[in-house]
Amino acid sequence: MDGYGNPNSEVKAAGWDKVSKYRVDPGFYNTMVHILVNKRFWDGLKPDQRAFLDRMAREVLERELDPKMAEAEIAAGRALEAGGMKVIQLDRDTAQQYLKIAYDAHWDSLAKDAPESAKKLRQLTSK
């Protein structure tokens, strides 16, 4: 393998930098953090309790996890470059096309496994 389009942190954590020379930027398929609650438990909560938990989960993600993940991504990128990995930086238009291809391929894969769920999820998460 010559290189990857994955985020810095994934390339570094998997040790792929030891067996390849390049990483294409922007990376895609970032790690996602999910906070899950048992449906039966959730359904037993009062609306104000649900609203509180939802608000707290968003705050944890936005105030704590997102900044830490961004810092880890930058640190991993520096470590990759210090170790000799070269970054191929795509221009803006090419990067947009590249990401569209990657995300469309992911949605296509999800749609093959669970068509109805993928359709609903895409509607909920896309602009």
Q: Which pLDDT score is estimated for 95?
A: 92
Phi, psi of 29 (to 5 degrees): 60, 50
Confidence band of 97 (pLDDT split at 50, 70, 90): very high
Q: Answer whether residue 72 shows pLDDT above 90.
A: no
88: left (phi over 0), alpha (psi -120 to 50) or beta: beta
What type of residue is 100?
A: K
Q: How much is the pTM?
A: 0.62
Q: Answer whether residue 127 shows pLDDT above 80.
A: no
Confidence band of 84 (pLDDT split at 50, 70, 90): very high
pLDDT of 6-43, one tens digit each?
Answer: 888 888 888 888 898 998 888 887 666 678 899 999 99
Which has the higher per-residue pLDDT, 53 or 4? 53
* Whole-angstrom distance, CA of residue 111 vs CA of residue 121: 10
* Mean pLDDT rounded to a whole number for the chain: 89
Q: Which pLDDT score is estimated for 66?
A: 83
Q: What is the mean pLDDT of residues 105-125?
A: 91
* Whole-angstrom distance, CA of residue 34 vs CA of residue 29: 15
Q: What percent of the chain has pLDDT over 70?
A: 96
